[in-house]
Amino acid sequence: MRLALFPTPPDPTAKRPVRIWSRVAGALLLSWLTGCAQTPTEMATDAHIRFYNINSVGQLSELSLVPGREEPGCHDMPLDLKVHRVALIGFSECLVFGENDCPDDATLVMRWSGKHSRSDPNKNQPTTRITPGSLWLFEAGREVEVASWRCYADS
């Protein structure tokens, strides 16, 4: 058998399926990536209150396993936990208490740590009634023991 000096050229029709599948795979990957980069069309409007403490390395950590935080009314913390910051989303206002069952005489005073507000006078002075926002700190100190809270829904 005699060796050829040059290899025989590949059949051009043999590469066509590979090109087609690579283009299909590329199109699918591109559509998946652009779909992930889009903002959701439905915004979450569920009302809830969030509590944050400071962990052992000095970072904020959300106390996410708090039952009843999406419902209006009075709720007790499962344990009396030290809280650094409170965020309020969707409720018209909330009060935070140092004792269980939301007694009026145990209401904790909070202050807004964000910018001065022209539309919400509650955010310009220490208050017991917090309004929507995520920068509510306790007037009494860096972390305060919270036992219960009461939130009011928009009516």
pTM above 0.75, yes or no: no
32 plus 91 within the same structural domain? no
Q: Is residue 5 part of a domain?
A: no
32 plus 52 within the same structural domain? no
Q: Which residues of the chain have pLDDT under 70?
A: 1-18, 20-21, 24-45, 155
Q: Is residue 55 part of a domain?
A: yes
Strand bridging mode 85-89 / 48-54: antiparallel
Give strand pairing partners of 127: 110
Tell me the residue type at 7. P
Q: Is residue 99 part of a domain?
A: yes
Alpha-carbon span 117 to 140, nearest angstrom: 22
Which pLDDT value is given to residue 42?
42
Which pLDDT value is given to residue 73?
94
Beta strands in the chain (DSSP E): 48-54, 60-62, 73-83, 85-89, 93-97, 110-112, 133-138, 144-152
The range of the structural domain enclosing residue 17 comes to: 10-39
18 plus 68 within the same structural domain? no
80 plus 123 within the same structural domain? yes
Strands, sheet with 48-54, edge to edge from the N-terminal-most edge strand: 60-62, 48-54, 85-89, 133-138, 110-112
Alpha-carbon span 71 to 48, nearest angstrom: 7
132 plus 87 within the same structural domain? yes
Which pLDDT value is given to residue 119?
82
Number of domains in the chain: 2
Measured CA distances, 47 to 69, 123, 128, 129, 153 (Å): 8, 19, 19, 16, 8
